[in-house]
Amino acid sequence: MIYLIDFCGFPWCILPWLLSGFLGFLMGYFWMKKWQSKFVEMEGKYNSLRKENDKLQADLEECKHKRAMLEGDISTANGMVKEMQLKLDNANASLAAAEASSTAASGSANLGNVASGFAAGAATSSIAGGTKEPKKSAGGTSAFGKLKSSNLQIIEGIGPKMESVLHDAKVATWSDLATKSPEQLRGILDSHGDKYKIINPSTWAQQAKLAADGKWDDLILLQKQLDGGNATNIGMTDSKLEKMIGKTMKAGFSKFKDNDLKIVEGVGPKIAELMNNAGINTWAELSNTSVGKLQEILDAAGSRYKLARPGSWPRQAGLAAAGQWEALKKLQDELDGGK
């Protein structure tokens, strides 16, 4: 049987609709494929960015941790800086005190030389008359005379603990210490274990003998040649006795800062300000200013300063600049308002 297609009876009117639908399907399919690939690509980028974000978050947390550690280190460093600054200030203060006491000792030594000259003259006269007077230490009647013989800490190499050890061993005074040999002192130290092994007591008896005899200048000279009590031949060093006496003599003036002009009897805050305005800021500068110049400064400031008498000011300032505190105190005890 043969089937024949009736083209005339075919509903050709629906063909455009079928063709449009087919073309729409094809376009939709291609667009879907295209956006599907775009979606996969964007999803890959998203995942990559999310991983990168997670890595950055981890780096940020690590940075925060390191920052916290650095801030702690900075705080520690600031504390160390403050501590070192405090130590530096204390060292500068000690250095200033040492310089002042050294200057004071030099002044005392000069006075000692003068006294020695008088003593030598007296000795010569005595020889002519048949009698010879012994030479006395220059410091016998000064602040050295206030030292107690039980104060073994004036000996270079002896501190508070070592003094206690010696006192326990019945070495109570300079005279007791002067009788001990280095071997005996070594035995006392060794009886307290190895902690005093590095201490060298070889010069202690010699120093103590000079102290017991009141030969302060000789003791200072000896201590300047020692290093912590050891004869190391390193050159001249600070004398422990010298520094100790310097601090003692300055104690009465401890309320004054270095180069405070008010340390001078007769100079108050207002006059000190006048001196500063005139370019006189230190004890040395005041000591080198003539009394006439000081009077001109006072006169120029008005009648309110007419009762001030600057006659002793340069001398007082010179003693302060030289660290001669005992001489300054003695002079001021003789003055009345600086007059």
Greater confidence, 171 or 84?
171
Residue 206, pLDDT > 50, answer: yes
**Least confidently predicted of 133-142, 147-156, 289-298:** 133-142
Integer Cα distance of 65 and 67 in angstroms: 5
Residue 124 domain boundaries: 28-135
pLDDT band at 9 (very low <50, low <70, confident <90, very high): low
* Nearest CA among 293, 336, 295, 290 for reference residue 317: 290
33 and 112 share one domain: yes
pLDDT band at 185 (very low <50, low <70, confident <90, very high): very high
* Nearest CA among 308, 316, 330 for reference residue 286: 316
pLDDT tens column, 253-288: 555 677 888 888 888 888 999 999 999 999 999 999
CB neighbour list of residue 164: distance below 8 Å, 6 or more residues apart: none
Distances (CA, A) of 241 to 92, 107, 129, 223, 296: 20, 15, 38, 8, 43
Helix (H, G, I), strand (E, B) or coil at 227: strand
195 and 113 share one domain: no
* Nearest CA among 169, 146, 167 for reference residue 241: 146
155 and 244 share one domain: yes
153 and 246 share one domain: yes
**Least confidently predicted of 67-76, 88-97, 109-118, 139-148:** 109-118
Looking at residue 116, its amino acid is S
* Structure tokens that stand for 285 in this block: 């500068």
198 and 297 share one domain: no
Please report whether residue 17 resides in a domain. Answer: no
Asked if 230 and 203 touch (Cβ cutoff 8 Å), the reply is yes
Q: What is the mean pLDDT of residues 127-147?
A: 47
* Nearest CA among 321, 309, 257 for reference residue 285: 321
Integer Cα distance of 139 and 108 in angstroms: 8
208 and 297 share one domain: no
| H-assigned helices in the chain | 15-129, 160-168, 174-178, 182-190, 204-212, 216-224, 240-250, 269-277, 283-287, 291-300, 313-321, 325-334
Asked if 147 and 248 touch (Cβ cutoff 8 Å), the reply is no
Please report whether residue 297 resides in a domain. Answer: yes
Helix (H, G, I), strand (E, B) or coil at 1: coil
pLDDT band at 12 (very low <50, low <70, confident <90, very high): low
pLDDT band at 289 (very low <50, low <70, confident <90, very high): very high
- Tell me what pLDDT residue 23 has: 83
> What is the chain's length?
339
Integer Cα distance of 212 and 189 in angstroms: 22
Q: What is the mean pLDDT of residues 223-249?
A: 62
- Tell me what pLDDT residue 335 has: 74
Please report whether residue 9 resides in a domain. Answer: no
Considering 135, 162, 187, which residue would you say is the last residue of a domain? 135
* Nearest CA among 277, 282, 309 for reference residue 294: 309
Considering 219, 250, 281, which residue would you say is the last residue of a domain? 250
Considering 84, 112, 135, which residue would you say is the last residue of a domain? 135
Tally of domains within the chain: 3
Q: How many CB atoms within 10 Å of residue 214?
A: 19
Please report whether residue 245 resides in a domain. Answer: yes
